Chains A and B, each alone.
Chain A
Amino acid sequence: MLKKKNFVFLLVMVFSLAILVACGDQTTTVAPEEQAKEIITIKAQTAGAETRRVDNLVAAAEKLNKELVAEGKNIVVEVETSIFDGGWADYYRQFKLAFRAQKEPDIYAVGHPNIGWLASGGYILPLCQLKEAAAYQDIFPVLWEAVTWNDQIWGAPLDLEVRPVFFRVDVLQKLGWSEAEIKNLPEKVRAGAFTVEDMTQLGKEAQAAGLVEWGILHRPTDGPEFHMMAKNFGAQLYDPAQDKLIFDKPAILKTLQYLHGLTQNEKVTPEAITTMEWKQVHQMMIDGQALFWYGGIWNVFNYVAQGMPFDEVMDKFDFMLVPAAEKGGNPITLSHPFVYTVSAQTEHPELVTRLLELVAAPEFQAANVETGHLPITKSGIKHERVQADPFLSTVTYMIEYTTFQPNHPDFVSYGGAFYKAIQAVQLGRKTPAEALDAMEAQIKSDIGDNIIIKEG
């Protein structure tokens, strides 16, 4: 009996061992293949709530890996993403320091005006080859302007927004406007028949009727909208031939006069708007305390985040281009596209470039709608996800009217001086002429001869 038991025990042990050995054999036969695959990690970084900007790269890497397998290459690309949480100045600073420590991301997603300092500081690689790539052939051509500096392409546009003027439909209804008149307002703006002056007067009319507290609101902090207004008054900000910024005094004076008029003469904008919080300004629009808002398409999602249901936003607001400065003139908007830039120290420039080509595919572009951004390509716009969006599909025409800020390293200093002048006139501390003189003095002190002063 015992012998039989021992025999069974031995048999089980031998069998188990055989299974283990068999399994072991299997792994060792697979292991050499697995080990041969070289894993290449590409680091990508962005900032803010739009994590899709790097998530798209992760998804594009899957496509790239399939291509690499088909090509018989033993490479696996992994995208390691990071989201910076903090202010923009901190975001730029940490990149500079990381670059010096050789710990920077391979792909750095950033607003396009940063290309100036990134390129001239030697932080990023030129990406001129992207212009020829098949994936970028149906990009809105105007977008290349946003990534060009010194006649070279330095970034891959990744999403797009426009800055329309929001207006409260319910306020216009109460003012006695017919449905047709309200619906036609964006077209009137497009045709140049409704100007910024008309906008001010309409705001005043709504205030006088007691329908709103304020006629027009604009951003409470320094930013691109003010340069858009300057462009609307004819300002030329940059001379690409000389790679110099332009201080266009007559146009800047007109802009300062306009902004001064809003708070000090017409009183359609709160004098202290530049001391307000973003949320507070959004809340004023949500509560119907103002008629017009110099906004951006993503603000729809800010309103939703602050408690206004999306359908109500669509119901209460309509959107138009920034009206022309003069009757018959061209309306305007401004885009500040985010772009992928590639570190000058990356060890895998070819793979990164391939990744940037793949991420321009319509399905990734269509994902931009998640955060209220537009695709950069025409095929992206045609994607069913974009077409099905009740809001974005109505503002895509604005891309035709878009403009950009210049990609110049000194634009931060220029913008800072301009914003100080804006604050001074809006608070009534300086007249537009005095603010212009102070702005010129600061620009000369900060930028020196590296700016063209246009007198008239």
Chain B
Amino acid sequence: MKRWFLPYLMLSPFLILVVMFYVIPAFITVMLAFTDMNYAMEWRFAGLVNFEKIFTDPFLPVIVWNTCKYVGGTLFFNVVFGFVLALLSTYYIQHEKSGIFFRALWMLPRISPPVVYVLLFLWFFAPGQYGLLNALSAIFLGVEPQNWLSEYAMLIVILANGFVGASFGMIIFSSAIRAIPQDIFRAAKVDGATEFAITKEIILPLMKWPVMFVSVWQLLSLLTSFEYILLLTGGGPFLDTEVWSLYSYHRAFVGFEFGYGAALALVMVFTAFFLTALMLKLFDFNRMIKSSRID
């Protein structure tokens, strides 16, 4: 057996899996985007019809705007809230066991099955007197029941996703804060730095790499994930929480426009590439991966 062949042989089980579950589906999606496949599930080449339809779709402006609000809002919440949680549980709570307990609490939304988690949200924000929030506000504030899910649908969607996503940032930022040598904090304290100054001048500048990682990772995941929105509002009321990925799903699997759904998904993939490149540029990724000039 030739020597060059052995590594490929060892890798072949994984290569086969990757080809079957990543490469082939991606290829099929690209092919589908150029067909008018519908409920009959027949492959009929339709050229660029689906892409033309995307740009004449009357709901496109609303869906793009919703996607921006959802991705931007949730990303901001995930990074900022994740950082605050990490800072509180790692730096300000010096007692390690308390910090771990605190972080474990915030992991609960992530380990809960999405359906159960969303049911709790639905029950909490349910309109009418049966909703928990309405019942509590009637008891303590004496106010009339509110239609939370129709008035603040996007905000609730962002919160539901944010509480799950923040735990990811929290874990990454916690380990990054832990990795900062204690000597730096001690030196700062000896020099009379306040806690706020330590956070602003020491911790924050050292968070650039993890912030970039969490932002890019979460951006990609938020662009493509829609399960919490689907379970919580189904994209409604009206089109208030219909984001690009959910719209693609609805078109393909509810309206049975598989070709159009695939075209929408394909556009989203290129959008994700573009936004990732933009983020890396913003964070000056090339400079970050260069070896340190101080040795």
Assess whether A442 is in contact with B127, with CB atoms less than 8 Å apart: no
Q: Which of A92, A271, A283, A427 contacts B130 (CB 8 A)?
A: A283
Assess whether A275 is in contact with B39, with CB atoms less than 8 Å apart: no
User: Which residue, B38, B53, B127, B257, has most C-beta atoms of chain A within 10 A?
Assistant: B127
Assess whether A117 is in contact with B256, with CB atoms less than 8 Å apart: yes
| A284 touching B128 in the complex, CB below 8 Å, given contacts A100-B41, A416-B254 | yes
Inter-chain contacts of A96 with B (CB < 8 A): 39, 41
Assess whether B39 is in contact with A409, with CB atoms less than 8 Å apart: yes
Say if the beta carbon of A27 comes within 8 Å of chain B: no
A252 to B237, CA, bound (A): 20
Q: Which of A408-456 contact B (CB under 8 A)?
A: 409, 412-413, 416, 420, 423-424, 427, 429, 438, 441-442, 445-446
Assess whether A275 is in contact with B255, with CB atoms less than 8 Å apart: no
Q: Which residue of chain A lies nearest to B234 when distances are taken between CB atoms in the complex?
A: A221
| A121 touching B40 in the complex, CB below 8 Å, given contacts A93-B253, A276-B128 | yes
A156 to B43, CA, bound (A): 30
Inter-chain contacts of A36 with B (CB < 8 A): none
A272 to B126, CA, bound (A): 10
Say if the beta carbon of B194 comes within 8 Å of chain A: no
Inter-chain contacts of A223 with B (CB < 8 A): none
**Which of B55-63, B79-87, B109-117 participates in binding chain A?**
B55-63
Say if the beta carbon of B221 comes within 8 Å of chain A: no
Say if the beta carbon of A277 comes within 8 Å of chain B: yes
Assess whether B59 is in contact with A427, with CB atoms less than 8 Å apart: no
Inter-chain contacts of A283 with B (CB < 8 A): 130
Q: What 1/0 mask marks residues of chain A from 239 to 278 whose CB sits below 8 Å from any chain B CB? A: 0000000000000000000000000000000111011110
Assess whether B239 is in contact with A420, with CB atoms less than 8 Å apart: yes
Q: What 1/0 mask marks residues of chain B from 49 to 91 whose CB sits below 8 Å from any chain A CB? A: 0000100111100000000000000000000000000000000
Q: Which of B58, B122, B150, B238 contacts A277 (CB 8 A)?
A: B122
Assess whether B130 is in contact with A275, with CB atoms less than 8 Å apart: no
A360 to B59, CA, bound (A): 46
Say if the beta carbon of A120 comes within 8 Å of chain B: yes
Assess whether B58 is in contact with A442, with CB atoms less than 8 Å apart: yes
Say if the beta carbon of A280 comes within 8 Å of chain B: yes
Per the CB 8 Å criterion, the residue count for chain B at the interface is 28
A277 to B127, CA, bound (A): 9
Say if the beta carbon of B233 comes within 8 Å of chain A: yes
Say if the beta carbon of B210 comes within 8 Å of chain A: no
Q: Which residue of chain A lies nearest to B127 when distances are taken between CB atoms in the complex?
A: A272
Q: Which residue of chain B lies nearest to A422 when distances are taken between CB atoms in the complex?
A: B238
| A412 touching B254 in the complex, CB below 8 Å, given contacts A121-B39, A441-B58 | yes
Say if the beta carbon of B147 comes within 8 Å of chain A: yes
| A445 touching B57 in the complex, CB below 8 Å, given contacts A122-B40, A275-B149, A412-B256 | yes
Inter-chain contacts of B126 with A (CB < 8 A): 276-277, 280
| A280 touching B128 in the complex, CB below 8 Å, given contacts A96-B39, A420-B239 | yes
Inter-chain contacts of B57 with A (CB < 8 A): 445
Assess whether B53 is in contact with A445, with CB atoms less than 8 Å apart: yes
A270 to B130, CA, bound (A): 14
| A445 touching B58 in the complex, CB below 8 Å, given contacts A409-B39, A416-B254 | yes
Q: Which of B1-56 contact A (CB under 8 A)?
A: 38-41, 53, 56
Assess whether B236 is in contact with A275, with CB atoms less than 8 Å apart: yes
A284 to B130, CA, bound (A): 10
Assess whether B238 is in contact with A413, with CB atoms less than 8 Å apart: no
Say if the beta carbon of A89 comes within 8 Å of chain B: yes
A442 to B251, CA, bound (A): 12
A150 to B57, CA, bound (A): 30
Inter-chain contacts of A272 with B (CB < 8 A): 127, 147, 149-150, 237
A403 to B253, CA, bound (A): 28
Q: What 1/0 mask marks residues of chain B from 229 to 256 whose CB sits below 8 Å from any chain A CB? A: 0000100111100000000000001111
Assess whether B254 is in contact with A89, with CB atoms less than 8 Å apart: yes
A18 to B117, CA, bound (A): 70
A360 to B243, CA, bound (A): 46
Q: In the complex, what's the smallest C-beta–C-beta distance from A148 to chain B, in angstroms?
A: 19
Assess whether A89 is in contact with B237, with CB atoms less than 8 Å apart: no
Assess whether A121 is in contact with B41, with CB atoms less than 8 Å apart: yes
Assess whether A120 is in contact with B40, with CB atoms less than 8 Å apart: yes
Inter-chain contacts of B130 with A (CB < 8 A): 280, 283
Assess whether B254 is in contact with A275, with CB atoms less than 8 Å apart: no
Assess whether A275 is in contact with B59, with CB atoms less than 8 Å apart: no
Assess whether A427 is in contact with B237, with CB atoms less than 8 Å apart: yes
User: Which residue, B126, B236, B238, has most C-beta atoms of chain A within 10 A?
Assistant: B238
A441 to B239, CA, bound (A): 15
Inter-chain contacts of B128 with A (CB < 8 A): 270, 276, 280, 284
Q: What 1/0 mask marks residues of chain A from 1 to 33 whose CB sits below 8 Å from any chain B CB? A: 000000000000000000000000000000000
Assess whether B255 is in contact with A446, with CB atoms less than 8 Å apart: yes
Inter-chain contacts of B147 with A (CB < 8 A): 270-272, 275
A369 to B254, CA, bound (A): 31
Q: Which residue of chain B lies nearest to A100 when distances are taken between CB atoms in the complex?
A: B41
Assess whether A270 is in contact with B39, with CB atoms less than 8 Å apart: no
Inter-chain contacts of B150 with A (CB < 8 A): 271-272, 274-275, 427
Q: Which of B232-290 contact A (CB under 8 A)?
A: 233, 236-239, 253-257
Inter-chain contacts of B236 with A (CB < 8 A): 274-275, 423
Q: Which of B39, B56, B153 contacts A445 (CB 8 A)?
A: B56
Q: Which residue of chain B lies nearest to A441 when distances are taken between CB atoms in the complex?
A: B58
Q: Which residue of chain A lies nearest to B128 when distances are taken between CB atoms in the complex?
A: A280
- 13 contacting pairs across A/B (C-beta < 8 A): A120-B39, A121-B41, A271-B147, A272-B127, A274-B150, A276-B128, A280-B128, A284-B128, A412-B256, A420-B239, A423-B238, A424-B238, A427-B238
Given A89-B254, A117-B40, A271-B147, 15 extra CB contacts under 8 A? A92-B256, A120-B39, A122-B40, A275-B147, A275-B149, A409-B38, A416-B254, A420-B238, A420-B239, A423-B238, A427-B238, A438-B58, A445-B53, A445-B58, A446-B257
The 7 A-B residue pairs whose C-beta atoms are closest, nearest first, are: A272-B147, A121-B40, A441-B58, A117-B39, A272-B150, A423-B238, A275-B149
